[in-house]
Amino acid sequence: MGIAKFIPDDLDRRIISHLRVDGRASLSKIADAVGVARGTVQNRLDRLLDTGTLLGFTVRVREDYDDRAVRAVALIEVNGRSTTQVIQKLRGITEIRALHTTNGNWDLIADIMTQSLSDFDRVLREIRMIDGVANSETSLFLSTV
């Protein structure tokens, strides 16, 4: 018999929702917002972290915070059954902010942010050199509208 998968309930989802809006909120503030005791929020957060449902807390920065940053999306086609290995290699590239599987002609979508065009060029070379990457197409973000 395997270990049962943890499934967050409505209270867990409300706590997570509140953290998405304010990841620095105090336990008391979250408790007030969701209508439970502070200790309950602490216990729920501990469980969400222990089960891997929450991976941690992070700072969210406005997209236009650093207007010199180079942002792009890379569509990646993978050869055969090498998707798992390609994903592991891509996760090691720190400039890839998010990685998604998808359907259609492309297998993966990478959200990339670098500090310069030369860094961006290096990241593209790294992606294209990964064994199992068959093809890629990249689009730079020019402006936010």
Is the separation of the CB atoms in 15 and 30 below 8 Å?
A: yes
Distance (Å) of CA 51 to CA 8, 9, 20, 45, 132: 10, 13, 18, 10, 32
Residues 81 and 31 in one domain: no
pLDDT at position 73, please? Answer: 97
pLDDT at position 98, please? Answer: 92
The arithmetic mean of pLDDT across residues 51-70, rounded, is 72
Q: Is residue 65 part of a domain?
A: no
Nearest to 96 by CA among 48, 143, 145, 133: 133
pLDDT at position 54, please? Answer: 85
Residues 40 and 102 in one domain: no
What CATH number is attached to the domain comprising 102? Answer: 3.30.70.920
∠ CA 62-29-47, rounded to 5°:
90
Residues 136 and 81 in one domain: yes
What CATH number is attached to the domain comprising 41? Answer: 1.10.10.10
- Cα 54 from Cα 57, distance rounded (Å): 8
Q: Is residue 2 part of a domain?
A: no
Residues 74 and 136 in one domain: yes
Examine the pLDDT at 57 and tell me if it is beyond 80.
Answer: no
The arithmetic mean of pLDDT across residues 27-54, rounded, is 93
Distance (Å) of CA 133 to CA 92, 107, 120, 130, 137: 15, 10, 18, 6, 11
pLDDT at position 59, please? Answer: 65
Question: Is the dihedral angle over the CA atoms 27, 61, 74, 139 positive or is it negative?
Answer: positive
Examine the pLDDT at 137 and tell me if it is beyond 60.
Answer: yes
Percent of the chain with pLDDT over 70: 90
Provide the 8-state DSSP code for 144. -
Q: Is residue 128 part of a domain?
A: yes
Q: What is the CB neighbour count within 10 angstroms for residue 62?
A: 7
The arithmetic mean of pLDDT across residues 112-127, rounded, is 94
Percent of the chain with pLDDT over 90: 59
Residues 46 and 104 in one domain: no
Residues 32 and 87 in one domain: no
Give the structural domain span for 33.
Answer: 10-50
Q: Is residue 109 part of a domain?
A: yes
Reported as a single tens digit per residue, the pLDDT across 68-116 is 789 999 999 999 899 999 999 999 898 999 999 999 999 999 999 998 8
Q: Is residue 117 part of a domain?
A: yes
How many domains are contained in the chain? 2
Q: pTM of the full predicted structure? A: 0.57
pLDDT at position 125, please? Answer: 96
